[in-house]
Each structure stands twice: as structure tokens, then as C-alpha cells.
Amino acid sequence: VLAEITRITFGRAPAGTAGSGIPSPRLDASSWLSDEFDFWMFNRSIDEARSLILIDDAGCGERFPSQVTTYCQRRIAARNAHSATPLFERILDLHRLLHDLRKPLVRADYDHSLDTWQWVLRLDPEAPFALQAAALLHDVERLVSEPDERVEQHAADYQAFKDAHARTGAAMAAQLVRDAGASEDEAVRIAELIVHHEQRSADDTLGDADALSFFSLNSSGYADYFGPEQTRKKIDWTWRRISPEARARVSSLRLRRDVRTLLAEMVNDGSVTPTH
Ligand SMILES: [Fe+2]
Ligand SMILES: [Fe+2]
């Protein structure tokens, strides 16, 4: 039986990277599903690649390309009419220049910001300009507070810590989009969205996108960095704030076994199984 082969084509590599002449990495379904799968190395292999070749050697069917496409969506960089514009391009370039990608935590934040933007488009294909820009820029404050080490685990009041992060980030993001040429109205709207991005609210596309990006892209790295105790708290905090629609999407993601187990313990209603 021949293994099913699929190619995922990526968008242009971010400014300041090579982006061409790099052979397309290959990914087998059996490695993707393995408990030992190295997400960090896989991410580095696609940073500058033009495409990725998927080889389904485990009879996974549609689920394999669909999970990998979601996981790699930051490199596909889909747009809608509100982001396929020179203004959004300038924002992406300024945002990229803020990041020193040699630093692992900054690299992780950069990937998370692009991934959150892409989750917004998945949840709302008609997402307006301000919502997409806010998604891209929602965590810029971490470039100031946590580029070399994380501190959130030390916060006496986690919600207060996150709200302060959101307020500072809102001002930084507003300045960045003004510099890129956005209108004052748009800058104010983007700042408003970012100020509230760590709070639960009704109809919260940005909050859902942020949480989905945590589960999809960041959860295994988070667990490696912070350990199981803090990861349990983070999963608990994140799960509580997302909508039922976003929760339903979490169970179809490729989650590492330790993360899936922590989540299943907490959810406890059978919608998330410890094995996948
Ligand atoms: Fe945040
Ligand atoms: Fe975030």
C-alpha cells in the first residue's frame, strides 16, 4: 500500500530570513503522532521552508494533513480582504523587526502572534482589520518583560499580572500601527481589543484565538519550560475562559500526551480523551 503524500505550500518567509533554496522538509504521520515528537525542531525546520511534504505512513486519512495544516498555519499566513493590503504588510514588517528571533522565548512569542492572527481568521473569515492587527500584536508587551526568561509563574495575582501586560501592550501596539500608517480610529480600536485580551468576555474572538494558539502551538513548550504544576494552572485558566465552540476545536488538535492528560483530568466530561 502506498503512503498518501500531501504537500502544504507556505507563504513568503518573514523579512530577514532566507526563505528560498531550502529543500522541503518531510514529515511522516508516525513521527507526528509519536510521544517523542520534537515540536521545537519541527518548527525550526519549517521557519524558512517553502513547503512541507506529508507522508501518511500510518493510515491516518484526512486527520493528518488537517492537523499539520492547523499546526503550521503561521507559515501559510492566510489573509482576507482586510489584511491583503500594503498597510497590513507594513504592520507585519514592523512586528517582525521587534523580534530578535535568535532568542528562543522571543521566537516562541513571534510564532504565537502569527498563529493567533491565523486562528482569528479561522474563527471569523470576515475578521475586520483591527481584530487581525490586535491578534498579531496582542502580546508585544512580552518583548519588554519576558524576552529572556518568563516571570508569570511568580505573579501573586495572575489576573492582575495579565491585565497589566495587556494595558502596556495596548499602548505599544497602538504606536506601532500609527507608525505603519493606520488611522487614529483604528489605532484606538486595536488598543481597546488588546487591553481586554486577558479577560473573559462574550463574543471574544481574540480570546478564543489566543487560547487555541496556546493549546495548538505553545502547550508542549510551555509544559517543558514551566513543568506540570504551572501547566495545570495555565490549562485550567485558559480552558475556563474559552467559548464552547473553541473548546470543541481543542479536542481535534494534536496535543502532546502530557498536555492531553492534564486537560482530560480537568475537563472530566469525556470530551477530551487522554489518548488520541
Ligand atoms: Fe497576552
Ligand atoms: Fe497570547
> 66 C-alpha vs ligand 1 centroid, how far in Å?
27
Split at pLDDT 50, 70, 90, the class of 16 is low
Q: Residue 151 to residues 41, 106, 110, 148: CA-CA distances in angstroms?
A: 24, 14, 18, 10
Residue 211 pLDDT exceeds 70: yes
Query: For 126, which DSSP code?
Result: T
pLDDT in tens, 113-145: 999 999 999 999 999 999 999 999 999 999 998
> 197 C-alpha vs ligand 2 centroid, how far in Å?
8
Cβ atoms of 35 and 259 closer than 8 Å: no
Split at pLDDT 50, 70, 90, the class of 151 is confident
> 219 C-alpha vs ligand 2 centroid, how far in Å?
12
Ligand closest to Cα of 110 equals 2
Split at pLDDT 50, 70, 90, the class of 18 is low
> 240 C-alpha vs ligand 1 centroid, how far in Å?
15
Ligand closest to Cα of 163 equals 1
Split at pLDDT 50, 70, 90, the class of 276 is low
* Averaged pLDDT, 183-188: 98
> 138 C-alpha vs ligand 1 centroid, how far in Å?
6
Alpha carbon distance 91, 85 (integer Å) = 10
β-strands 26-28, 4-9 pairing: unpaired
Split at pLDDT 50, 70, 90, the class of 239 is very high
Ligand closest to Cα of 109 equals 2
pLDDT in tens, 153-169: 888 898 899 999 999 99
Please give all residues whose CB falls under 5 A of ion ligand 1, grouped by chain where several chains appear.
139
Ligand closest to Cα of 113 equals 2
Mean pLDDT over each residue of the chain, to the nearest integer: 91
Amino acid at 171: A
> 276 C-alpha vs ligand 2 centroid, how far in Å?
25
DSSP letter string, 145-208: HSSSS--GGG-SSHHHHHHHHHHHHHHHHHHHHHHHT--HHHHHHHHHHHHTTTS--TT-HHHH
* Averaged pLDDT, 196-225: 92
pLDDT for residue 17: 58
Please give all residues whose CB falls under 5 A of ion ligand 2, grouped by chain where several chains appear.
139, 210
